[in-house]
Amino acid sequence: MPEEISGINENKSGDNAMNFLERIIEDDIRSNVYRRSVHTRFPPEPNGYLHIGSLYAININYGAAKRFKGAFNLRFDDTNPLKEDMEYVNAIIEDMKWAGYDPGENIFFGSDYFDRIYELTLKLIENGRAFVCDLTPDELRESRGTLTTPGINSPYRDRSVEENLKLFDGMKNGIYSTGEKVLRAKIDMSAANINMRDPTIYRVLNADHYRSGDKWRIYPMYDYAHPIQDAIENITHSLCSSEFKDHRPLYEWVLNALSFAFPEPPKQREFGRMSITGAITGKRYLRQLVSQGYVDGWDDPRLPTIKGLRRRGFTVESIYDFLGDIGVARDNSTVDISMLENSLREDLKPKAHTVMAVLDPLPVEIINYPEGAEEWVVVENNAENPELGSRELPFSRNLLVEREDFMEVPEKGFRRLYLGNEVRLKGAYFIKCEKALKDENGNVIKLLCTYDPATKSGGGFTGRKVKATLHWLDVNHTLPARINLYGRLLPDENISGEEPDWPRLVDPDSLIAMENARVEESLSSARPEEKFQFIRHGYFVADIHWKPSEKLVFNRIVALKDTKKKG
C-alpha cells in the first residue's frame, strides 16, 4: 500500500471540513479505540459494473483513509458463484483506477478467506452458537414471523454439537442438494430485528466458483462473511450505505461471537444512499437493459455506469467536483442530475476547444463571391480562455449551415436565415438570404445568399447590426461524421418489479444519430475520448471505440447551459 493515498477529491469549501463519518473516526482515534491506523474498504460483489452511486461510496471510504493517512482495500465480496465473473472484477479495477481511486496492491477477494471462515464457523458450532436446519426455504421464511409477530424456533435448533458438526461436514462435501440444508446462527427468534432471528449464515450451493473451482459446495452468506472479511483485513471502519443499518446488529453479533479471534473488531457505520434523477443504478435492472439489448453494452453513454459516463465524456475532475458538492448525508437523498452536468460544464468550459460542426447540413451558395476564390478567416479556439489561441478556417463561395437555421416562413422571434434577412457567419461576413431552391417535392435543398465584403470579422466594421451569428463550414473542407445525440434512456426512473416493461419504459428517442453530419478538418487529428465544444450544440467527445482510420464518431456529452432555442 502506498504511504499516502492520492487522487481523491478534496472538499471544495476551502476549509476541508469533516463529514459526520470522519468525525466519528476522529473521536475513535482520540479515544484510542484502535491500536492500528485507520483502515477502510470498498467491497463490491463482482456481478456487475460500477456506477455513479458506487463512486459515491468509494469516495467516502477512500476519502476517510486519505484524510487520516490510513489504508484502503478493494475487496471483492465473491460469495455467490452463480452471478460472479472475472469480467466484472477486471472492469471494477479498471474503473476505479480511471476515477483516481487506485487501491495499489490492496486488492483482495473474499473467496480467499473461505478456509478461514469455515474454520471459524466450526468454532461457532462447537460453542453452541450455530445449528444445521432442514427447513425448506418456504418453511424457513414462514417461521421467521413478521414485524409484529415473533418467529418460531426451528425443530432442528436443539441438535447436538456433534450432530451439527457432522451435518455441516456433509454439507461441505456435497452430500446434500442445493437448498436441502442451511447453517443458521442461534440468536433469538423473538428479536424485534428480523435479521437477528436465527439468520442463515451458510447455504448448500452445488456450483463451481470462478476462482476456487469445485472446492466448495457451501458458501457463506453476505451478512456473515462481510464482518469476518473486514476483521481478517484489519479494517477499522466499515462505512456502508444506510440499507445495511438494520444489519449492523448481526455484523456486531458475528464479531462478538468470534471475539476470541478478533479482539479489536471493526466498526460498521452507515451513510445515506445517493440516488440521481434520470439514472437507474440497480444492478438487476442495468443487467436486464444490457442483456436484452436495449442499450449498447455496459458502457452505453445513456447508462450511469462508470464506463458509460466515461464513454459519454464525463471527466474525472467533474465527478470529483460533483461528489464534493453533494457531501455526505446521514439520510437517503436524491440529487438532480443537472448538478453533475453543471460540474462537467464548469470543468470543460475553459478546457475544450470550440469547433464548427454542422449536424444536418443545408448548402449555401454565396452568389456574389468570386468563383474559385478562397480565403482564410480567424476564429478563436475558446472564447473563455484566450490562452488556447486561435485557428484559421477556409471560406469560399459554397458553404454549409444547419438546416434548422433557415425557415421559409419565419416564426415570431426567429432571427436566423429567412428570405431577405441578414446574419453574421462566425468569424466571417454578413450574408443575406436571397432565394431558396427546392426539389420536386418542395424540400429546400440550397440557399442562395449574398455577402457584404465590408463586414469581415476583425476588420473594424461598425455599421449596421444583425441579430444572429451562425456557425458554418466550407463545403470543400469538411469531414464526414456520425454524431450521437443522447437523452435520458428512461424518462421515469421510478422502476419496480422483477421484469419491468422495458419496451414501454425505454425512450426510443434517447439516441438520435446524425449520420450525415460534417465537421471541420481540424478534427482529423482528434483522438478517442478527446473533448470539444461544438458551437451552439454543446460539448462532445470522440467515441472511445472510434478508430482514427474510420469515419469520425462523436457523442454529445451535455448540452450548453442555455439549451433554449433562440432566434
Catalytic residue positions, numbered: 45, 273, 283
Cβ atoms within 10 Å of 92's Cβ, excluding its own: 23
Enclosing H/E stretch for 62: helix 52-67
Q: Where are the alpha helices (DSSP H) in 99-206?
A: 114-126, 137-143, 161-172
Q: HSE (CB half, 13 Å, CA atoms) of 20?
A: 9
Longest alpha-carbon distance in the chain? 102
Q: Where are the alpha helices (DSSP H) in 377-511?
A: 502-505
| DSSP label at residue 377 | E
Query: Using an 8 Å Cβ cutoff, are 269 and 252 in contact?
Result: no
Joined together, the cell numbers standing for residue 13 give 469549501
Using CB atoms within 10 Å of the CB of residue 325, give its burial: 0 to 12 exposed, 13 to 18 middle, 19+ buried: middle
Pick from 5, 12, 4: which is nearest to 322 by CA? 12
Gap between the Cα atoms of 478 and 466, Å rounded? 27
Joined together, the cell numbers standing for residue 21 give 463519518
| Backbone angles phi and psi of 254, in degrees to 5 | -60, -45
Cβ atoms within 10 Å of 89's Cβ, excluding its own: 19
Residues 167-185, buried b or exposed e (16+ Cβ, 10 A)?
Answer: bbebbbeeebeeeebbbbb
